[in-house]
Amino acid sequence: MAVTETKRKPKQEAKATRAQDPEGTRRNILEVASEEFALNGLSGARIDEIAARTRSSKRMIYYYFGDKEGLYLRALENAYREVREGEAHLDIEGLSPIAALTRLVEFTFEHHHRHEEFIRMVMIENIHNGQYLEQSKEIRELNVTAIDHIARIYSRGVEEGVFRPGLDPVELHWQVSALCFFNVSNRTTFSMIFGRDFGAPEQLERLKRNTVEMLLRFVAAADAPAL
């Protein structure tokens, strides 16, 4: 007698996929959740909508993340982790301090441009006065590594006489973040007010060059050659 193959239903296939790749399922949930939180905020995002857009279910989301606030916090942590991991993988150890700082600023500018959801989630967390970020030891530890990274570049620059002494690495990180962050957070309003597309490729390239130049002038030693 011929064996008849039983055809799997879509839900059975999805369930099997989740069982075989739990980490992939978690990543998928976090990616979609980040987009939803960035678009609608914590209060406006809906677990039903997130579940509908993933290879998961509402029940599975609660299983992995507890509740909506738990999912929001994990998505926020993941957003910070991505930018910090990107910084850590920059191949700048063999570069001069000026070239290394240039590459770091360029990376930050480009990352923020490509990940608008990161900018929006940071803005949302500021609206919440950092109450969820405060709960996360991981985010604090991730940002300690960011300061160590820029501090090493700055310290080498001071030792070589190309950067002026007396700057606080945390404040230097603030300046880099401020310029790159504003480029995304206020792009729409600036474009509308001044009738210019600040997201156009040639405009972005000019803004990136200007951002690098401003930061290099800010840290330059008094007797450093003009840029």
Q: Return the DSSP state at 165.
A: S
Rounded mean pLDDT of 123-137?
A: 94
Residues 81, 179 within the same domain: yes
Residues 6+ apart with CB under 8 A from 40: 46
At 227 the pLDDT is 64
What is the Cα–Cα distance from 22 to 34, expressed in whole angstroms?
18
**Least confidently predicted of 51-60, 73-82, 114-123:** 51-60
Looking at the structure of the chain, the number of domains it has is 2
Rounded mean pLDDT of 160-180?
A: 96
At 199 the pLDDT is 93
- Sign of dihedral through CA atoms 142, 44, 115, 21? positive
Residues 82, 179 within the same domain: yes
Residue 154 binned pLDDT confidence (cut-offs 50, 70, 90): very high
CATH code of the domain in which 12 resides: 1.10.10.60
Residues 152, 91 within the same domain: yes
Residues 84, 174 within the same domain: yes
- Both structure tokens of 187: 């792009």
The answer on pLDDT for 180 being more than 80 is yes
